[in-house]
Structure 1
Amino acid sequence: MNGTGEGRGMAADGPQARAFVAALVRAGAPSVSGPAGLAVPEAAAAEVITVARRLALRAVPEGWWQPRPAPGLLGLATALVVDEHPSAPHWSAAERQRLATWVAVLIEHRGEEGVQELLGALTEG
């Protein structure tokens, strides 16, 4: 191994992994059936949206009246959070879109810490 990082694997939460997932989202990678990837309890979409909205609004800079996520984050939020929620198959397309928007805003302003905060809040119920 040398100082350039050659010989190291890709860290699951590192920048290479995030870039890889973002590339899959941009390419329109198909969903794979199987168990949900998030260890949170099932919940109604309205409940999850309310929690994500509250956390996202706390994260945005003061004075923003209508948070809009940076381009590309919507797909990332959908793939990594919305589609991985155990209740997602029961939600409408509009509910999934609203949740993805708030999660994308949360990711934009708080990154992975924001997602972890969201998962903690959903687990606490």
Structure 2
Amino acid sequence: MAADGPGPREVIAALVGEGAEILPGPPALEVPEASADTVIAAARRLALRALPRERRRQDRSGLPALTPDPDPDPGLRRVAAVLFVDEHPSAPAWSAADRDRLAAWVAVLIEQRGEDGVQDLIAVLGGRPTEG
């Protein structure tokens, strides 16, 4: 990108900050409709797998313990909400609380794996194998 123009972070921040207009048409994500619980569980599973071992709580068997909802960076949470949650075809049927929980887990996934994490989530939801 040219040095005199805004970078990707600035563009995304501007879109999130302005509350980009919701346009009619099909959702941007090519995934099947699903319940909020199903999508949250998939995002949570991938996010926990992406966390470094020292940041994971573990139960007695060594598996990730059930954890409360994460508290990711607020900016990443807004990006996750705008670019993933709002674009899911089932999102209009989900509660605000479910949408917020999903945004939190997707934000953790973005924090840990970036676009690769989001692409893995889309693959999992679409029934395709993941790269990571």
TM-score (norm 2): 0.77
Is 1:21 aligned with 2:12? Answer: yes
Cα offset for 1:35? 1.2
Equivalent residues in 2 for 1:41-80, closer than 5 Å: 41-64=32-55, 65=57, 67-80=70-83
Corresponding position: 1:31 with 2:34: no
In 2, Cα distance between equivalents of 1:17 and 1:98: 25
Q: Please tell me the root mean square deviation across aligned C-alpha atoms, in Å.
A: 2.2
Q: Percent identity?
A: 57
Structure 1 stretches of 4+ moved >4 Å: none
CA shift, 1:18, in A, is 4.9
- TM-aligned CA deviation for residue 40 of structure 1: 0.4
Rounded Cα–Cα distance in structure 2 between residues aligned with 1:112 and 1:60: 15
Query: Which amino acid in structure 2 is aligned with residue 113 of structure 1?
Result: D
Deviation of the 1:5 alpha carbon: 4.5
Given residue 97 of structure 1, which amino acid in structure 2 is its aligned partner? D
Secondary structure of 2:87's aligned partner? coil
1:87 equivalent in alignment to 2:78: no
Distance in 2, matches of 1:47 and 1:124, equals 13
Give the number of equivalent residue pairs: 115
Q: Which runs of 5+ in 1 are unaligned?
A: none
Q: Identify unmatched segments of 5+ residues in structure 2.
A: 58-66
Distance 1:32 1:80 in 2: 13
Cα distance in structure 2, aligned partners of 1:37 and 1:77: 13
Q: What does residue 64 of structure 2 align with?
A: none
Deviation at 1:26, TM superposition (A): 1.9
